[in-house]
Structure 1
Amino acid sequence: MSQDKLQTFCLLEIEKLLQSNGKSLRNYVGMPVPNNSLVSQFSNLMLLRELQFDIVSLTREHDTNVLKLNEEQRVVYDKIIDCISNKRHGFFFVYGFGGTGKTFLYRVLLARLRSEKRIVINVASSGIASLLLPGGKTAHSMLNIPVELTEDTVCRIKKDSAKAEVVRLADLIIWDEAPMTNKLAFKVLDRTLRDIMVSVSDRNKYLPFGGKVVILGGDFRQVLPVIPKGSRAEIVMASINSSVLWKYCEVLCLTKNMRLTMGLEQSTPQELRSFLDWILQVSEDRCGTVVNDKLFVDIPSDLIIPVLENPVEDIVNTIYPNLVQNFCDPSFFQDMAILAPTVDNVEEINNYIVDLLPAEEKNYLSADSICGSDVYYDVGVDWINVEFLNQIRCSGLPNHSLKLKIGVPIILLRNIDPAGVCVMELDLLCEI
């Protein structure tokens, strides 16, 4: 991109921010304004970003990695490329347990299509998963999927918007870790894509996902949709394979464990094989002992962290070695996470890690109040005071007192600025 184009691009972004606050570049004497002869090229900045990839680098990456695909991966790759090349619609689910090379396959597809100047919408159900693929975003952020889902809701994408144009021109949509998401989200996306794509062809309103080539991927052995206090049957019914869309889906299976083939730096193939076999046995309910209707699973000794004096300290030091030296590197957190069963455990571990970091700590307090909606007219609120509200702790919301330091990892739960970062995306705090 030339210097003139870069300057125009930058000025347009500044102008957008100023206009959102009732100002303009023209309000400031001496400030340059965008080059009118170039403005038309930046009419859809989102589309421009989707096309700003290094073609030479992507071509080299594709040519190298396509040769590494195994037979199963190659079948999936050829089927997807054939659909796109021949302008046919397709709805696929790439099913495979961890280590079968789903992410590697997606990267090869991304490199191939983007090197050909094609648009690929690449999303995941969680912010952590979206970090694994270049240009990845959370599905809710990229596709404007509402938080509250019903049978009648649609994505908040206007048919004449810049995002709708990107969707319209996209050759492929990849949704990783799809089993985590409620089936209603896919129905909402299907309804929206049919509405957007009808402007291309009337027949698209009768095709799943508006005739787009869509790849869902994941493993039903892992995390399924969360139904608060839901039964096993309710969780199963909320999964994508219980959706009316599933009958249109072609399931493509990956069964070969590529991690065993390639090995890992810190594990021998035999150690890795034993671990993966144990994981499969747990996920398929093939190990453990039932005592008084309760299942007890024996955890291999090499997976147990020895506790000396402080359990939290031992866990953090084991999962995040040299944390203080590496906490400013976003990639340090990509392959590691500490999962905890309760909110209290989460708070204890988070506070310990924040205390380790050398930056100055700042404490932010929430502004809590009682909802004034008529929906709660029959709820007695006289006894509820601000102090009581401050003490409430629940999953999905930060506590009343939020301790932060520059460099601490954070996850955005709700994005007020529509042009901001992804919801549920992992970020590092750069400024307080």
Structure 2
Amino acid sequence: MPFPSEVYFSNAVNRLLQEETSYDKEELKILHEKNLGMLNPEQKNVYDSIIQNVYNKVGGVFFVYKSGECGKTFMWHTLYCRLRSEGKIVLPVASYGIAAVLLSGGRTAHSRFHIPLKLDQDSTAGIRHGTDIAELIQQTDLIIWDEAPMQHRHAFESVDRSLRDIMSDVDKRRAKKPFGSITVVFGGDYRQILPVIPKTSRAEVVGSTLNKSKILEFCQVFLLKQNMRLHAGNTEMENKVIADFSKWQLLVGDGKVENFSPDADTGEMLIKISDQYVIHTMQNPIESLFEITYPDFLRNMSSHSYLRSRAILTPTNVVVDDINNSILEKIPGTLHTYLSQDSIDDVGDEDNEFISAFPVEYLNSLNMPYVP
């Protein structure tokens, strides 16, 4: 294999800066021209406002509020294709890993900005002067922060303090501007998951969101409403079904759906789900759900397109296990079960009664989170 150039071994080279400036500018320019013509008027308005703000170098904070399927990720892609094709630096981050994977060069916000795991109202991000990440931020033109409503407001405020400090080396006046006068765009939907705070009240969860932060005072808010899935070459009937379901979901999220009333015992709000969204069965509900979602399963179980085009979503892992076990029973062939826990390591003396307290049958029943 060819030996790397000596420049890569030099301590003077900022590898973070190299990563963010090594994109194929011609390829990005072609992608941008293609995507730009596909933006709808709502997306184009957001795109123009952000691009103008970046070019004027005045800094600014934007919040793009949207419901699902409004083409938010596509708009992010168009933005950083434009700026990166011109040699500008864009840092796309997200509040969790799956969303970050969807962004080109994306990272989680904690990884990119070194946000502490334990946060309070006085926390700062772990970015020090003179480091590679500090130099990268000083040359950054745009930060895109996806799925912002899931993040605790202290995370945004800690990054704000650190960026003001870092950018004060460039211009002392930047220390008084939000995020050190770097253009920052937040995106997300408050109807989805808010910050997860174990064993706390609803009021504290709501109080931890971005809209309770002082940063929101500087935000220019845009609202995306147009569902892009209605323009994906579907039939008129398919578009109507998607539109009706999307409208019903938004009404549920806003608490405006019909038959919306509090439960007499718990006080929780209850809704009546329309019959068209319910599978009525008196037999095995999992079996009925599976048959409707995966019709003619045995004939199509080896088809990638068949499996990619459908899925069953559940609120808990217990239901996932039930569905997986039901499907495994239908697949022809011999079923092998591999038990994850058979013994306890480091139990001390052989006469210790600790071993007998945890028999093999109990250890076999353990189902660790994130481990299939």
Using the size of structure 1 for normalisation, the TM-score is 0.68
Distance 2:158 2:327 in 1: 39
SS of aligned partner of 1:75: helix
Deviation at 1:285, TM superposition (A): 1.0
Deviation at 1:359, TM superposition (A): 9.7
C-alpha deviations, 1:230-259, integer Å up to 9, x for none? 333222211101101111111122233333
SS of aligned partner of 1:172: strand
After TM superposition, the structure 1 = structure 2 runs for residues 269-280 of structure 1, keeping only pairs within 5 Å, are 269-280=239-250
After TM superposition, the structure 1 = structure 2 runs for residues 366-381 of structure 1, keeping only pairs within 5 Å, are none
1:66 corresponds in structure 2 to: 36
Amino acid in structure 1 at the alignment position of 2:14: N
Q: Say yes or no: does 1:252 pair with 2:222.
A: yes
C-alpha deviations, 1:388-410, integer Å up to 9, x for none? 8xx99xxxxx9558755xxxxxx
2:175 corresponds in structure 1 to: 205
Q: Say yes or no: does 1:125 pair with 2:95.
A: yes
SS of aligned partner of 2:163: helix
1:236 corresponds in structure 2 to: 206
Q: Say yes or no: does 1:45 pair with 2:19.
A: no
Distance 1:402 1:45 in 2: 33
Q: Are 2:62 and 2:184, in contact at CA under 8 Å, matched by a contact in 1?
A: yes
2:293 corresponds in structure 1 to: 318
Distance 1:214 1:236 in 2: 23
Deviation at 1:385, TM superposition (A): 10
1:215 corresponds in structure 2 to: 185
- Gaps (5+ residues) in structure 2? 347-353
Deviation at 1:104, TM superposition (A): 1.8
Q: 2:340 aligns with which of 327, 340, 363?
A: 363
1:23 corresponds in structure 2 to: none
Distance 1:312 1:147 in 2: 42
Q: Are 1:319 and 1:338, in contact at CA under 8 Å, matched by a contact in 2?
A: no
Bigger mean CA offset, 349-358 vs 131-140: 349-358
Q: 2:6 aligns with which of 36, 39, 42?
A: 36
Q: Are 1:178 and 1:218, in contact at CA under 8 Å, matched by a contact in 2?
A: yes
Larger-gyration structure (1/2): 2
Distance 1:359 1:273 in 2: 44
Distance change >3 Å, CA 271–CA 317, structure 1 → 2? closer
Amino acid in structure 1 at the alignment position of 2:181: G
Distance 1:278 1:160 in 2: 52
Distance 2:167 2:345 in 1: 43
C-alpha deviations, 1:53-73, integer Å up to 9, x for none? 222221111111112222222
After TM superposition, the structure 1 = structure 2 runs for residues 15-30 of structure 1, keeping only pairs within 5 Å, are none
SS of aligned partner of 1:174: strand
Count of residue pairs brought into register by the alignment: 350
Distance 1:104 1:401 in 2: 32
1:11 corresponds in structure 2 to: none
Amino acid in structure 2 at the alignment position of 1:52: S
SS of aligned partner of 1:108: helix
Q: 2:251 aligns with which of 281, 296, 304?
A: 281
Distance change >3 Å, CA 262–CA 324, structure 1 → 2? closer
C-alpha deviations, 1:84-122, integer Å up to 9, x for none? 112111111011222322222111101101111221111
Q: Say yes or no: does 1:135 pair with 2:105.
A: yes
Amino acid in structure 1 at the alignment position of 2:239: P
Amino acid in structure 2 at the alignment position of 1:150: D
1:86 corresponds in structure 2 to: 56
2:271 corresponds in structure 1 to: 297
Distance 2:254 2:73 in 1: 23
Deviation at 1:263, TM superposition (A): 5.3
Q: Say yes or no: does 1:161 pair with 2:136.
A: no
Distance change >3 Å, CA 215–CA 401, structure 1 → 2? closer
Q: Are 2:123 and 2:154, in contact at CA under 8 Å, matched by a contact in 1?
A: no
Distance change >3 Å, CA 309–CA 360, structure 1 → 2? closer
Amino acid in structure 1 at the alignment position of 2:340: N
Distance 2:194 2:156 in 1: 14
Q: Say yes or no: does 1:340 pair with 2:310.
A: no
SS of aligned partner of 1:185: helix
Distance 1:125 1:386 in 2: 44
After TM superposition, the structure 1 = structure 2 runs for residues 385-424 of structure 1, keeping only pairs within 5 Å, are 403=371
Distance change >3 Å, CA 401–CA 277, structure 1 → 2? closer
